[in-house]
Structure 1
């Protein structure tokens, strides 16, 4: 994923933090935005604490980052 796309995702997530959204609402908003901005099919996970994960994704279509107390994972899979 290009640094520009990573920054765009990071900034969008950061813009949602002040809205005091539930985790469910936040994941839905991030997914909808990713699908609209970068085409479908994106998956979003927000984690509070440690995690271990294995998953498949399209090449160069995955990003994980920590913002405040939460970890954000987004990745894209092929459209079927």
Structure 2
């Protein structure tokens, strides 16, 4: 079987990049929801929703770093031809 390593590498990078973009978009959505407008009175439910959004954004922050690390590692892996399998 002949594997196209460049295609595999590009597919892996594409999938991780898409996952990073999706996580970043979700993160930014939570961050914007976590911000309260201090110029108006803040209702209890608004405050609770902002805290939940802040907690969710904090959890996604770690995921963003994980995806970025995976992409960096994929970019440095040598997918060139090899004579032995390590």
Would you say same fold, with TM above 0.5?
A: no
- The TM-score with structure 2 as length reference comes to 0.30
Structure with the higher fraction of residues in strand conformation = 1
Higher relative contact order (Cα pairs below 8 Å, separated by 6+ residues) = 2
- The TM-score with structure 1 as length reference comes to 0.31
